[in-house]
Chains A and B, each alone.
Chain A
Amino acid sequence: MIKLVDVRKVYKMGKVDVEALRGIDLEIEEGEYVAVLGPSGSGKSTLMHIIGCLDRPTSGRYYLDGREVSRLSPSQLAEIRNTKVGFVFQSFNLLPHATALENVELPMIYRRMRAKERKKRAKMLLDMLGLGERASHRPSELSGGEQQRVAIARALANDPQILLADEPTGNLDSKSGEEVVKMFDDLWRQGRTIVVVTHDPAVAERAERVVRLLDGRIVQ
Chain B
Amino acid sequence: MRVILQFLGELKRERTRMFLTVLGIAWGTASIVLMLSVGQGVIEGARRGMQGMGKAIVVVWGGETSKPYRGLKPGRKVRLREEDARLLREKVKGIGSISPEYIRWGVYVSSGKRSMNTRTVGVWPEYGPLRNICPQEGRFLNQLDLRFKRRVVFLGDEVARRLFGSDDPVGKVVHINRVPFTVIGVMKKKLQTSSYSGMDKDATFIPASTFRVMFGHRYVNDIVYRPDDISQAELVKAEVYRVMAWKYRFDPEDRQTLRMWDTIEGERAFGRVALGVQMFLGIIGGLSLLVAGVGLANIMYAVVRGRTREIGIRMAVGARPKDIIYEYLLHSALTVLAGGAIGFGLSWGLVEFINALPLKGEVFKYLGRPVMSTTTAIVASVVLGVVALTAGIFPAKRAASIDPAEALRYE
- Which residues of A are at the interface with B, using a C-beta cutoff of 8 A? 49, 52, 54-55, 74-75, 78-79, 81-83, 87, 89, 93-97, 106-107, 109-111, 154, 157-158
Contact = CB atoms under 8 A, between A and B. Distances in A.
Contacts of B319: 78, 110
Interface string B1-37: 0100000010001000000000000000000000000
A28 B319 CA distance: 26
B346 interface: no
B317 interface: yes
A78 B318 contact: yes
A89 B403 CA distance: 17
B318 A89 contact: no
Contacts of B318: 78-79, 81-83, 107, 110-111, 158
A110 B316 CA distance: 11
Contacts of A111: 318
B310 A74 contact: no
Question: Which among B309, B313, B323, B403 has the highest number of chain A CB atoms within 10 Å?
Answer: B313
Interface residues of B, number: 21
A75 B2 CA distance: 21
B364 to A, nearest CB: 53
A34 to B, nearest CB: 20
B120 to A, nearest CB: 82
B273 interface: no
Nearest to A50: B405
A139 to B, nearest CB: 11
B313 A54 contact: no
* Chain A to chain B: the 3 pairs with minimum beta-carbon distance, closest first: A82-B318, A110-B318, A55-B405
B321 interface: yes
Interface string B250-279: 000000000000000000000000000000
Contacts of B404: 54-55
Given A55-B403, A95-B310, A97-B9, A81 B317 contact: yes
Give the secondary structure class of B's interface: helix
A52 to B, nearest CB: 8
Interface of B: 2, 9, 13, 309-310, 312-323, 403-405, 408
23 contacts: A52-B316, A54-B315, A54-B404, A55-B404, A55-B405, A74-B321, A78-B320, A79-B318, A79-B320, A81-B317, A93-B316, A93-B408, A97-B13, A106-B314, A106-B317, A109-B2, A110-B314, A110-B317, A110-B318, A110-B319, A110-B320, A111-B318, A157-B317
A178 B59 CA distance: 101
Contact of B316 (A81, A83, A96, A157): A81
B131 to A, nearest CB: 68
Nearest to B404: A54
Contacts of A81: 315-318
A97 B408 CA distance: 17
Contacts of B408: 54, 89, 93
A87 B9 CA distance: 26
Nearest to A81: B318
Contacts of B316: 52, 54, 81, 87, 93
B406 to A, nearest CB: 9
Contacts of B312: 93
B2 to A, nearest CB: 7
Nearest to A74: B321
A95 B317 CA distance: 12
Nearest to B315: A78
A110 B404 CA distance: 15
B320 A75 contact: yes
Contacts of B323: 78, 110
Contact of A93 (B313, B320, B403, B405): B313
Contacts of A109: 2
A87 B405 CA distance: 12
A94 B317 CA distance: 11
A39 to B, nearest CB: 18
A196 B317 CA distance: 18
A87 B313 CA distance: 10
A21 to B, nearest CB: 13
A87 B317 contact: yes
Contacts of B320: 74-75, 78-79, 110
Contacts of A52: 316
A41 to B, nearest CB: 13
B3 to A, nearest CB: 10
Given A97-B13, A106-B313, A107-B318, 16 more contacts: A54-B315, A54-B408, A55-B405, A75-B321, A75-B322, A78-B318, A82-B317, A82-B318, A89-B408, A93-B309, A93-B312, A93-B408, A95-B310, A95-B313, A110-B319, A110-B323
Question: Which among A79, A96, A97, A158 has the highest number of chain B CB atoms within 10 Å?
Answer: A97
A170 B13 CA distance: 31
B408 to A, nearest CB: 6
Contacts of A55: 403-405
A52 B318 CA distance: 11
Contacts of A107: 317-318
A55 B321 CA distance: 14
A167 to B, nearest CB: 13
Contacts of B315: 54, 78, 81
A208 B16 CA distance: 54
A28 B405 CA distance: 22
A107 B320 CA distance: 11
A80 to B, nearest CB: 9
A74 B314 CA distance: 13
A36 to B, nearest CB: 16
B9 to A, nearest CB: 6
